[in-house]
């Protein structure tokens, strides 16, 4: 049995904490809000994000970061991407050195420095810090309910990857290990942008043909962008790339897809739709980072460009579609 701190009591953090506790680990779930932590403990469930899913024995909830980090073997970050660096600095105040086992299940970029999240850790704790990234085609609600799930634990340090695979491996939850940490992070972040695009397409009633085209061309864009980090093509064709892309683009449990659907159907602004959803829409933040990096490196990412214009309220959903369809004809290999 390992003692693990799960930092972040949103839907995804809570689901992972619940699964780890069911798997027999000693788990402390940290919520940044004392009120939220008290509500979860009192109701024995995260009513706000995972209503009806009871907490298993062995799962403790706290708003004290110091208490959460006491005598832990592993620390798992599951906070929003724009809070990642801030929470990491707070963790460093309580831990002089990185924990024996460190991982991130956050999907996104650090917006201020336009960094992948493992780069944030390296910058704070040193380039030799060992950590893993957990990602794949996963919805929090299904994980919390124990439905079959497969994901990857990626780290250039084989021991890190294996530790997290071992603690999560239980019943219907299967974890594959690999070493391409950057490729896994890019897949987990970029797919949210494409989910917004497919949500808009379906919200406008453009049909299954259009959705399939967006997913396949979105895959091309993802691989083109991932090449900036020397990501392995096999990674992008696996669970953390294609698997997560297909899931997020085709199922309404995806809040990024729902964001696109609502944007197309409601006539509301991106900010208004975000408020209606009431949870973090990571694709809204990721697209701004990708846009900046694409301009810096001269990358042609047309679907991303239209999502960026939508999110920043420069165009309407119908105009975004017209922009994509009016592009000049090209060979599929070069488009």
Tell me the two tokens of residue 35: 């009120």
User: DSSP string of 254-283?
Assistant: -HHHHHHHHHHHH---HHHHHHHH-S--HH
What b/e readout covers 76-104, taking b as 16+ CB neighbours within 10 angstroms?
bbbbbbbbbbebbebbeeebeebbebbbb
- Give per-residue pLDDT as tens, 206-252: 999 999 999 999 999 999 999 999 999 999 999 999 999 999 999 99
What is the mean predicted confidence (pLDDT) over 150-169?
Answer: 98
Q: Which residue has the higher pLDDT, 144 or 58?
A: 144
pLDDT computed for residue 299 by the predictor: 97
Backbone angles phi, psi at 239, to 5 degrees: -60, -45
Q: Evaluate whether 294 touches 225 at the Cβ level (below 8 Å).
A: yes
What is the mean predicted confidence (pLDDT) over 98-108?
Answer: 96
Tell me the two tokens of residue 137: 């085609």
| Distance in angstroms (rounded) separating the CA atoms of residues 159 and 325 | 48
Q: What angle do CA 221, 180, 189 make, to 5 degrees?
A: 40
User: Over 80: is that where the pLDDT of 334 sits?
Assistant: no
pLDDT computed for residue 328 by the predictor: 65
Is 191 part of the annotated catalytic residue set?
A: yes
Pick the closest to residue 198 from 180, 188, 210 (CA basis): 210
What is the mean predicted confidence (pLDDT) over 285-306?
Answer: 97
pLDDT computed for residue 97 by the predictor: 85
Residues 6+ apart with CB under 8 A from 189: 81, 107, 108, 109, 116, 282, 286, 289, 290
Selecting among 191, 268, 296, 330, the annotated active-site residue is 191
User: Over 70: is that where the pLDDT of 335 sits?
Assistant: no
Q: Evaluate whether 99 touches 39 at the Cβ level (below 8 Å).
A: no
User: Over 70: is that where the pLDDT of 140 sits?
Assistant: yes
Residues 6+ apart with CB under 8 A from 155: 130, 131, 132, 133, 161, 177, 179, 181
pLDDT computed for residue 280 by the predictor: 84
């Amino acid at each position: 049995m390992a003692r693990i701190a799960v930092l972040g009591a949103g839907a995804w953090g809570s689901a992972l904490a619940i699964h780890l506790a069911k798997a027999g680990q000693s788990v402390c779930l940290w919520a940044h809000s004392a009120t939220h932590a008290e509500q979860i403990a009192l109701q024995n469930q995260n009513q706000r994000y995972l209503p009806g899913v009871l907490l298993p024995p062995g799962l403790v909830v706290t708003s004290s970061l110091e208490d959460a980090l006491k005598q832990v073997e592993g620390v798992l970050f599951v906070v929003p991407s724009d809070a990642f660096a801030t929470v990491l600095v707070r963790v460093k105040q309580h831990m002089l050195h990185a924990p024996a086992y460190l991982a991130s299940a956050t999907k996104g970029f650090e917006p201020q420095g336009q960094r992948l999240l493992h780069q944030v850790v390296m910058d704070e704790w040193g380039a030799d810090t060992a950590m893993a990234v957990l990602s794949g085609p996963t919805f929090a609600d299904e994980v919390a309910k124990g439905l079959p799930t497969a994901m990857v634990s990626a780290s250039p340090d084989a021991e890190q990857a294996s530790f997290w695979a071992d603690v999560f491996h239980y019943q219907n939850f299967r974890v594959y290990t690999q070493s391409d940490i950057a490729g896994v992070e890019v897949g987990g972040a970029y797919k949210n942008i494409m989910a917004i695009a497919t949500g808009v397409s379906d919200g406008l009633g453009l049909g299954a043909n259009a959705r399939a085209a967006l997913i396949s061309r979105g895959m091309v864009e993802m691989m083109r962008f991932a090449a900036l980090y020397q990501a392995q093509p096999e990674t992008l064709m696996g669970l953390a790339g294609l698997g997560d892309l297909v899931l997020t683009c085709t199922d309404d449990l995806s809040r990024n897809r729902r964001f696109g659907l609502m944007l197309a159907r409601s006539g509301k602004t991106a900010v208004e739709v975000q408020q209606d959803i009431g949870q973090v829409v990571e694709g809204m933040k990721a697209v701004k980072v990708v846009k900046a990096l694409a301009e810096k490196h001269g990358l042609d990412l047309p679907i991303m460009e239209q999502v960026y214009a939508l999110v920043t309220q420069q165009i309407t959903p119908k105009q975004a579609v017209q922009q994509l369809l009016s592009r000049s004809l090209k060979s599929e290999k070069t488009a």
